[in-house]
Structure 1
């Protein structure tokens, strides 16, 4: 009987060990939480119109590109024939806009996905940009981030822009 219990104990221990190895360990949960804090700070800076805080979230020299859908470009070109489908920009320009917006502004995020290996990370989400509580444009947005000595910084931003009726 003791032999049977010993064999059963060893078998159960081995099974528990195998199952424990099958469960992936989330080694980057803390990094994702820190990146989520950048996302939350970004949204808060827009609402507070805090251009200085917005600037501090970016890595100097990063890239910024807006890609406008074809229907929106056609609509915009009725008023501004020179309008382009792909519009480079900078975080400095956006931070200046945020800091000087004359009306309430907000960017609403949904379907946020964060991936990281602890060194670089990506954030991908759907967004709606609101002015005075009304959507002016929406689309998908993606950020590339790097983990610096000062914390996570956005190094690149790419977003699509679909103009809403008021846009």
Structure 2
């Protein structure tokens, strides 16, 4: 009887595991898609689309190491959306190799990125994006990122538009 119970448990685990893995993969893909949607809205300079991807109190925190120490610049999501939503140069932010952690309705996407202005390299770094799953899908609640202008590894994506 013990052997039958163990076999039944193993069979149940085999049947449940692919569904659980698929659900986790879908959640991870959804979190990364929300980050990519932000980058797409930035490229379109669409402040309304940016606001729609953020939670009400979303925060952006940029860090840069300088000779005087780490500089920190904070802005609200509303300030960020208003700034990017204005006419200006073409913006392109690209991510690769995202690492996603999800527990219930929260997720973190940690990913290298590069940033280009009017087709020219501006900076690179790491984006640490916190998200919350709502009835409308994944919403970005905060982004903290490094901003590095030197020593950037070449993107595995190649040059923009290439």
TM-score by length of 2: 0.75
Other-structure match for 2:92: 106
1:128 and 2:102 aligned: no
Other-structure match for 2:26: 30
1:43 and 2:29 aligned: no
Matches within 5 A, 1:36-75: 36-71=32-67
Other-structure match for 1:4: none
Other-structure match for 2:143: 157
RMSD: 2.9
CA distance in 2, matches of 1:16, 1:37: 38
Q: Summarize the Cα distance change of 1:46–1:18 in structure 2 as closer, same or farther, 3 Å threshold.
A: same
CA distance in 2, matches of 1:148, 1:18: 34
Q: Runs of 5+ in structure 1 lacking a partner?
A: 1-10, 75-83
Other-structure match for 1:81: none
CA distance in 2, matches of 1:138, 1:92: 23
* Contact 2:60/2:80 (8 A) holds in 1: no
Q: If you compute each CA radius of gyration, which structure gives the higher value, 1 or 2? A: 1
Q: What are the superposed Cα offsets for residues 82-126 of structure 1, whole Å, 9 maximum, x if unpaired?
A: xx7111112222212221142111101122122212310011111
SS in structure 2 of the partner of residue 89 of structure 1: strand
SS in structure 1 of the partner of residue 111 of structure 2: strand
Q: Runs of 5+ in structure 2 lacking a partner?
A: 152-162
CA distance in 2, matches of 1:62, 1:40: 17
How many equivalent residue pairs? 146
Which one of 54, 57, 73 corresponds to residue 87 of structure 1?
A: 73
- Aligned-pair distance for 1:164? 5.1
Q: Summarize the Cα distance change of 1:157–1:92 in structure 2 as closer, same or farther, 3 Å threshold.
A: same
